[in-house]
Amino acid sequence: MTTDKHYKIIIVDDHALFRNGLKLLLNAHESFSVVAEASNGNDFLEILGVIPADVVLMDISMPCMNGIEATARAIKKYPDLKIIALSMYGDEGYYFKMLEAGACGFLLKESEIEEVYRALFNVIEGKSYFSQDLLQNLVSHFKNHPEKTNIEELSQREIDVVKLICQGLSNNEIAEMLFLSKRTIEKHRSNILQKTGSKNTASLVMYAIKNGIVNLDVST
């Protein structure tokens, strides 16, 4: 996917070699440019106050200030900022904390660059993104350790909307499928986020998987 627009990226990771390699690959794409990089959350927050960005690729485990705290502080000050967590296998215990902080996507550091591009475009469009391997681990976790909460407060129409959101559809697309207005879908989405305690689409997807509202096919 390409676009006429150009998006500014900040990379936050404490390994210089990883940052340099990712920066090289991102700058090779006509839609992206890395405008800054940082090795910890403190440096990132200082940079963000001077250099605006569209998307941040944020490591979870870093010295001085980790990605969870840095994400929470950044989103509190810049609510429209999109942050994708960079994860290693074994970081699953931090996912919910990153979602609570406001992350809208998760990428394995081992991901191919094409998947990184795909994740960036998804979150720029207001969607969430989970690496398939991470999603597989989470689905397996919820199957083995059920943690269902009360979903009775969601109406059947709201559940229908949640399922379509989890398919990655936009408000316009959902409105067309359900023969409703875009404004109605926006109202449903707002009510759903409030009822489920979800901060964004990514945390709503997690809620839907946890509560069995959707059974995502993660075999591919």
Q: Give domain limits for the chain.
A: 7-131, 146-210
Domains 7-131 and 146-210 share a fold: no
Low-confidence ranges of the chain (pLDDT < 70): 1-4, 89-92, 139, 141-152, 215-220
This prediction has a pTM of 0.79
For the domain spanning 7-131, the CATH number is: 3.40.50.2300
pLDDT at 148: 61
- Cβ partners under 8 Å of residue 76, min gap 6: 102
pLDDT at 14: 94
pLDDT at 219: 40
For the domain spanning 146-210, the CATH number is: 1.10.10.10
pLDDT at 91: 65
Kindly state the tokens that stand for 210. Answer: 């946890």
pLDDT at 160: 93
pLDDT at 127: 85
Q: How far from 21 is each of 8, 13, 18, 131, 213, CA to CA, in Å?
A: 17, 12, 5, 19, 39
Measured distance CA(71)–CA(206) in Å, rounded: 18
Per-residue DSSP letter, 152: T
pLDDT at 218: 45
